[in-house]
Structure 1
Amino acid sequence: MKLDLDRGHNEPLHQQIVRQVETLILSGELPPGSGMPTERHLASLLRIHRSTVTKAYEQLRAAGLIHSVQGRGTFVADSMWDLQTNHFPRWSQYMSSGVFRPTISLLRKVHQLTPDPSYINLADGEVSLDLLPTAIMKELLKGEDMASFMHYSDPRGERKFRQAIARHVQKQYGIEADEDEILVTSGGQQAMHLITQCLLSSGDSIAIECPSYHYSLPLFMSSGIRLLRIPVDQDGMIPSSLPELHRAHRIRMVITSPTYQNPTGVVLAKERRLELIRICRGLSIPIVEDHTFSDIRLHGEAPPLPLIANTGVEGSVLYFGSLSKSAAPGFRIGWIIGPRSVISRMADIKQQFDFGTSPLMQELTSRYLESGGWSEQLERIRAALSRNQETMLHALDRHLQGKAEWTRPGGGYHIWCRLLQPAAETSLLEEGIRQGVLMVPGRVYGAEAGYVRLSYARANEGEIAEGIARLARAVSIVAVGQR
């Protein structure tokens, strides 16, 4: 742990320690559960009085960033759940180069190695290049006069495209919405940014599933938003935990991915969907529904209708979807569906962000949806991912039986795997890299120690089989090292 104190600065030394340690923890440079230097040792390293370090550690403990165990030492908190990141008035200092917090350190390592073909990629959340809809895109663009699509867009999205989305969601998911209840976004990530900027404020508490992809997004902590966990089992989130959570923390919003949730792959049972709507309606809490993976059904029964199909657009649900998983991530096309007043407010913020999504991509995507191209592409993706999933499950049975547990998700891109002997995430990731395989440790998504997310979307069947074999070797090596 490297700290750089400025003795000539008017900021007290203990506050400099607090600020720098917090930065290291929130950026992931000090991973959850890692050991901290003793107060005496850190004081010696920094050449300051021990009482200064004691004061800093007390403040860090009060904020929930570190904890001490008598006889063992001081450690970084196991997770960032329930952390009030606006505890210290330091964001302008911490993020001197901008508003947003850096990507979690473990994820940065994975992202940096993703383009290297020498690694087998079981981490990526996108399909392989051979599954992209390049042929139909060329056909749709053939002989087209592009000049008419080079203007600034309506920040809500081109009316023709919003009408196409309305037809699409009605046909596919039973959602009744008109074009004025739809906002076009540059993918699902921008949808979450708009929701955060428009509907939440620093200090607000929101509830999300545990584990959840949304836990890994830096935008919540960058905005000073407190994340509260809703437990998840084989039938999805457990809504009955919400009333007590709301009484304790005054929840402002619930964010859920009810269909093929990332990373667990679970589907929220129909009875729980209705219970969630009933509870949130009674508490006047809005629900944000992430429907990103809903189309990637690989086997089993069709999932229940989206939450918004049960409440109506003027109800308590704000819905967003995209084509990143069912077509191609490079489309950068998504949409939010909700009450007109909310859509209008978000459109105003979106205009400040980017003056609207590309009219050319909106026109291209409109044709793609209505030409039958999307349905054909979806069937290609489903067929390929079904084969890949079976290959991964077979490889897990062969190489990790007795060392891990996993389920067979009905859809999505991932298998959620629990190691029976939990391994330190950093050690497992680094050993996996040495073995030539990439995966995402579960702590990235707010899970307890010992979980990994394995993707079968990017790699081919041969790579998947070899990748699981390499992962098994990494698990064995780390387990031996921890004895």
Structure 2
Amino acid sequence: MQERSSVDELVKQLRDELDRYSPDGKLPSSRSLVERFRVSPVTVSRALAQLAAEGLVVTRPGAGAFRARPRTAAPPAGDTSWQEVALSADGSADLVPRTVDASGVTICLAAPPPGVLEFSGGYPHPSLQPERAMAAALARAGRRPGAWERPPLEGLPELREWFARGIGGGVTAAEVLIAAGGQTALATALRALAPPGAPVLVESPTYPGMLALARAAGLRPVPVPVDQDGVRPALLADAFRGSGARVFVCQPLFQNPTGAVLAPGRRAEVLRIAREAGAFVIEDDFIRRLAHTDSGPLPPPLAADDPDGVVVHVASLTKATSPSFRVSALAARGPVLERLRAIQVVDTFFVPRPLQEAALELVGSPAWPRHLRALSAELTTRRTAMTAALRLRLPELALPHVPSGGYHLWLRLPDGTDESALTTAALRAGVAVIPGRPYFSAEPPAAHLRVSFAAVSGTADITEGVRRLRTACDEVL
């Protein structure tokens, strides 16, 4: 019997037998299943991984497989009929030129010159990436029967189910599309929700790549200020009224660049304000898997609290894995889901199946939770080292908020500082940093720098990089 059919048959048999076990009850060992069903250990491993992806089984490294606890009942379906109005709105008749300024993106992607420490990086250093686990997952995926066939246009069902369970709130696999990285997912969402020339509300400051996407689509970014508790609801409501926008893009968790987490009291307000404006919220949940050890329990995605289809949710595996592991998800409810699907099919056809299969292998392996724990601990250590070094050597650079997740710090420079002169001086001193200007869609309120503690090799480079930045500040300030 072929491997794939053996896996399917074993999954069916185990699924039929799950009622014999109480919640948290332990299933027979893998060795017992191999002997009983006369299949290979690989078949057993894949069958258990599929049951885990379906939420029926929980695997615990070193302990075995256990029947999962029953899921809580999904909340009642909301009313998505309002989307017919929102999706048909013309927005503004004045078209915006689709000029593209990619400088804010390329500075995060470009490797610095030799000998220059990378405080500008937008991805974790290779030593923080699960290279062995990814290589093993890709090798296993390549051997799966059918791995090189055309995948379903929406993505592999098991991978869609895995993302749906991570979002929560009754989101189902049918409401998830697999996309080729968060940037592609954001581009699809913006094109689906706003016609050229329309305003789109953005956090201020915000991710330059999103601003570039909006302008490339002919949209007009309208800034809404954030503070240490995320976007300010009163200003959000004013922006909706003043602009007529039907879309708000936000990062409620460890916002880029401020690191802010949307306060519990503001979450419902943001959804209510958007709903009353007949608008969508694009939730860029790009960094949930980069929480630090002192973050405490993370709030659920906004999409988990939204039965009415206000939120279009974007999630990605890239930041926690590798810049080249471009697998993400778009989740939405209501008629907008078909529009998202149609745009994605036209743009990319589908995400390559081997990459989707590798993602399934990776997140279903014992190496995945181990990697996330190690990554969390190392990011915490690096953040602490950079925070201490900055406060010791550069007290004049204000650090208004120390984030409990992510990979960078957001520094306010003394009034009157020339960002461009400082970043140039820093490069001469041997450290690459990112100026704050690209993070603002309008005039910035002050000069800033964003400095990453994840793109260098370790804490020794962090200490040396801050010393070099001190040299640059002595030259410019």
Counterpart for residue 61 of structure 1: none
The more displaced of 388-397 and 240-249 is 240-249
Counterpart for residue 280 of structure 2: 286
- 1:103 alignment partner AA: A
- Among 225, 229, 232, which residue is 2:219 paired with? 225
- Among 444, 455, 458, which residue is 1:458 paired with? 455
Counterpart for residue 411 of structure 2: 417
1:309 aligns with 2:301: no
- TM-score normalised by length of structure 2: 0.75
The more displaced of 297-306 and 189-198 is 297-306
* Cα deviations by residue, 1:238-257 (Å, 9 ceiling, x for unpaired): 01112222222101111110
Alignment of 1:78-477 (within 5 A): 91=97, 101-104=100-103, 108=106, 111-112=109-110, 114-142=111-139, 144-145=142-143, 148-167=146-165, 169=166, 173-214=167-208, 217-298=211-292, 299-312=294-307, 314-446=308-440, 447-459=444-456, 460-477=458-475
Aligned counterparts of 1:363 and 1:435: Cα–Cα separation in 2: 44
Q: CA deviation at 1:115?
A: 4.8
With over 3 angstroms needed to count, the CA separation of the structure-2 counterparts of 1:406 and 1:242, relative to structure 1, is closer
* Cα deviations by residue, 1:111-165 (Å, 9 ceiling, x for unpaired): 44x2534110011111111122122233334465266222333221122321232
Q: Does the CA contact (< 8 Å) of 1:110 and 1:438 recur in 2?
A: no
- 2:302 alignment partner AA: L
Q: Does the CA contact (< 8 Å) of 1:159 and 1:179 recur in 2?
A: yes
Q: Does the CA contact (< 8 Å) of 1:103 and 1:217 recur in 2?
A: no
Q: CA deviation at 1:102?
A: 3.8
Aligned counterparts of 1:461 and 1:423: Cα–Cα separation in 2: 28
Q: Does the CA contact (< 8 Å) of 2:279 and 2:310 recur in 1?
A: yes
Q: Does the CA contact (< 8 Å) of 1:441 and 1:453 recur in 2?
A: yes
Q: CA deviation at 1:86?
A: 9.5
Aligned counterparts of 1:340 and 1:361: Cα–Cα separation in 2: 28
Aligned counterparts of 2:433 and 2:213: Cα–Cα separation in 1: 23
Aligned counterparts of 1:207 and 1:322: Cα–Cα separation in 2: 22
Q: State the superposition RMSD in angstroms.
A: 2.3
Q: Does the CA contact (< 8 Å) of 1:215 and 1:444 recur in 2?
A: no
Q: Does the CA contact (< 8 Å) of 1:110 and 1:439 recur in 2?
A: no
- 1:135 alignment partner AA: R
Q: Does the CA contact (< 8 Å) of 2:208 and 2:438 recur in 1?
A: no
Aligned counterparts of 1:107 and 1:423: Cα–Cα separation in 2: 23
Q: Does the CA contact (< 8 Å) of 1:216 and 1:445 recur in 2?
A: no
Q: CA deviation at 1:420?
A: 2.1
- 1:311 alignment partner AA: D
Q: CA deviation at 1:470?
A: 1.1
Counterpart for residue 47 of structure 1: none
Counterpart for residue 37 of structure 1: none
- 1:120 alignment partner AA: L
The more displaced of 293-302 and 460-469 is 293-302
* Cα deviations by residue, 1:396-454 (Å, 9 ceiling, x for unpaired): 01111134334211111111111124422221111111111111111110143321111
Aligned counterparts of 2:211 and 2:241: Cα–Cα separation in 1: 26
* Cα deviations by residue, 1:211-257 (Å, 9 ceiling, x for unpaired): 00057632211222111111111111101112222222101111110
The more displaced of 387-396 and 338-347 is 338-347
Aligned counterparts of 2:254 and 2:395: Cα–Cα separation in 1: 24
- 1:301 alignment partner AA: G
Aligned counterparts of 1:376 and 1:454: Cα–Cα separation in 2: 27
Counterpart for residue 80 of structure 2: none
Equivalent position SS for 1:148: coil
- 2:384 alignment partner AA: E
With over 3 angstroms needed to count, the CA separation of the structure-2 counterparts of 1:281 and 1:225, relative to structure 1, is same
With over 3 angstroms needed to count, the CA separation of the structure-2 counterparts of 1:443 and 1:153, relative to structure 1, is same
Aligned counterparts of 1:402 and 1:135: Cα–Cα separation in 2: 42
The more displaced of 302-311 and 250-259 is 302-311
The more displaced of 380-389 and 150-159 is 150-159
Aligned counterparts of 1:222 and 1:199: Cα–Cα separation in 2: 14
With over 3 angstroms needed to count, the CA separation of the structure-2 counterparts of 1:281 and 1:86, relative to structure 1, is closer
Q: Does the CA contact (< 8 Å) of 1:181 and 1:337 recur in 2?
A: yes
5+ residue gaps, structure 2: 1-90
Q: CA deviation at 1:176?
A: 2.1
Q: Does the CA contact (< 8 Å) of 2:318 and 2:326 recur in 1?
A: yes
Equivalent position SS for 2:313: strand
The more displaced of 441-450 and 228-237 is 441-450
Aligned counterparts of 1:478 and 1:430: Cα–Cα separation in 2: 10
- 1:275 alignment partner AA: E
Q: CA deviation at 1:303?
A: 3.0
Equivalent position SS for 1:228: strand
Aligned-residue sequence identity (percent) comes to 29
- 1:163 alignment partner AA: E
Q: Does the CA contact (< 8 Å) of 1:323 and 1:329 recur in 2?
A: no
With over 3 angstroms needed to count, the CA separation of the structure-2 counterparts of 1:320 and 1:404, relative to structure 1, is same
With over 3 angstroms needed to count, the CA separation of the structure-2 counterparts of 1:214 and 1:102, relative to structure 1, is closer
With over 3 angstroms needed to count, the CA separation of the structure-2 counterparts of 1:110 and 1:192, relative to structure 1, is closer
Equivalent position SS for 2:464: helix
Aligned residues: 381
